[in-house]
């Protein structure tokens, strides 16, 4: 299959963002903010604006943001080595890697078909009525949430395609008034339920892990169990009420869906018995949780790496499936290589901390080797 052609740089929004950022950079920092804090905020907002405007693929924007942060000495560092070290400091954070692996594991549920099978089973059991159909999809999301930390992948990659297919099977389409038959109700419901399941489990949403880290920095320790107990009552009440509330607000025209369980059975029959990859995906998640709770103190990042590692060894997952489409990076790879070559020269000519230079040179060489 031919690779998707890159659209290149969107110059108009890029130049606009650059001009605004440069103008703000020249201003005196607001009262209460230091110059490094002000400059860091400008780069951060400019990076987010570039992502929203789709100036370049997200990965490219991220690299450019880190590069500008380092070259501009935005954190107030005095040396080039210190600047790049500060810019890359969070890459050794276990939280960052936990989020990365969470997306990889989420892709595993999608690729093996395990998430889809669970959702279809819920529809088979509860899908005779429109409201039951919504609860079936909600419970599928609930079952997947503790082991699938990306709520975006969980809803968008597993639940939504099934809800959309069901709506279309009842001749309910988003582009015309037929959406009021059942489509509006189902899609609105799964979107709101996804927020509930994301809050119920610490591992139901990657943002929860950041909250845990911030709490730890403030001296408050949150375990998986304490999070679950605190969230259990409000989330279960919300899980029961949200479909009813959305049903009352959207008032779908179709009230009964007797064909939905049959459609689910048909899809399950086409999928056949659980494949080896599905069993492996299920087993590794269970083993990882047991290790985390009972046997090995490796932290949650280690737990997710254990699960992902076993899946990858058995060739059921590939890191490429858990990250962005790296083919989009190809147009900028040569420019990245040139940047690293020039930056090594910049470091050697502007900084006399030889140990730092050698480490950065090795890092640049390693990145070029990976991209080759």
pLDDT per position as a tens digit, 268-313: 888 888 777 777 766 666 655 555 554 444 455 444 544 444 444 4
SS (H, E, C) 222-275: CCHHHHHHHHHHHHHHHHHHHHHHHHHHHCCCCCECCCHHHHHHHHHHHHCCCC
pLDDT of residue 20: 94
Model confidence at 194, pLDDT cuts 50, 70, 90, reads very high
Among 260, 269, 264, 265, CA closest to 167:
260
Identify any residues that bridge with 46 across adjacent strands, giving them in sequence order. Answer: none
- 175 is written with which tokens? 């582009």
Is residue 208 over pLDDT 60? yes
Greatest mean pLDDT range, 35-44, 95-104, 334-343: 35-44
Work out the average pLDDT over 114-138.
Answer: 84
40-66 pLDDT tens trace: 899 999 999 998 888 888 778 888 888
Q: Quote the percentage of the chain above a pLDDT of 70.
A: 67
Lowest mean pLDDT, pick from 7-11, 213-217, 292-296, 358-362: 292-296
94 and 301 Cβ atoms separated by less than 8 Å: yes
- Which residues, in sequence order, are CB contacts of 282 under 8 Å at separation 6+? 114
Q: How far apart are CA 107 and CA 103, in angstroms?
A: 6
Is residue 229 over pLDDT 50? yes
pLDDT of residue 106: 62
CA dihedral 255, 261, 267, 269 (to 10 degrees): -170
Lowest mean pLDDT, pick from 205-209, 288-292, 317-321: 317-321
- 89 is written with which tokens? 């400091």
71-97 pLDDT tens trace: 888 888 887 777 777 777 766 666 566
What's the whole-number average pLDDT of the chain?
74
Which residue did the predictor score with more confidence, 331 or 110?
A: 110
């Amino acid at each position: 299959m031919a690779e998707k052609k890159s659209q290149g740089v969107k110059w108009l929004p890029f130049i606009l963002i650059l001009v605004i950022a440069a103008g703000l950079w020249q201003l005196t920092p607001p009262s209460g903010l230091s110059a490094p804090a002000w400059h860091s905020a400008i780069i951060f907002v400019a990076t987010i604006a570039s992502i929203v405007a789709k100036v370049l693929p997200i990965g490219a924007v991220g690299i450019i943001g880190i590069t500008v942060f380092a070259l501009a000495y935005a954190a107030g560092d005095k040396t080039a080595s210190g600047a790049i070290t500060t810019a890359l400091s969070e890459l050794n954070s276990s939280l960052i890697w936990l989020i990365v692996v969470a997306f990889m594991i989420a892709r595993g549920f999608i690729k093996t078909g395990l998430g889809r099978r669970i959702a279809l089973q819920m529809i088979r059991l509860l899908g005779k009525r429109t409201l039951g159909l919504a609860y079936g999809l909600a419970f599928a999301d609930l079952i997947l949430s503790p082991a699938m930390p990306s709520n975006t992948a969980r809803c968008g990659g597993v639940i939504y395609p099934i809800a959309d297919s069901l709506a279309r099977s009842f001749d309910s389409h988003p582009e015309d008034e037929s959406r009021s038959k059942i489509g509006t109700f189902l899609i609105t419901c799964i979107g709101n339920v996804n927020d509930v399941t994301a809050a119920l489990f610490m591992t139901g949403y990657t943002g929860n892990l950041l909250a845990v880290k911030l709490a730890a920095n403030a001296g408050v320790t949150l375990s998986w169990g304490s999070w679950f107990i605190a969230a259990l009552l409000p989330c279960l009440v919300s899980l029961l009420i949200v479909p009813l509330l959305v049903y009352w607000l959207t008032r779908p025209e179709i009230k009964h869906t007797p064909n939905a369980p049959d459609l689910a059975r048909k899809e399950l029959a086409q999928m056949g018995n659980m494949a080896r990859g599905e069993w492996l995906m299920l087993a590794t998640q269970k083993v990882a949780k047991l290790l985390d709770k009972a046997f090995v103190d490796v932290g949650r990042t280690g737990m997710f790496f254990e699960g992902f590692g076993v899946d990858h060894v058995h060739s059921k997952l590939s890191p490429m499936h858990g990250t962005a489409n790296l083919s989009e990076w190809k147009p900028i790879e040569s420019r990245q290589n040139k940047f690293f070559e020039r930056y090594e020269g910049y470091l050697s000519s502007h900084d006399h901390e030889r140990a730092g230079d050698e480490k950065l040179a090795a890092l640049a060489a390693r990145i070029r080797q990976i991209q080759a």
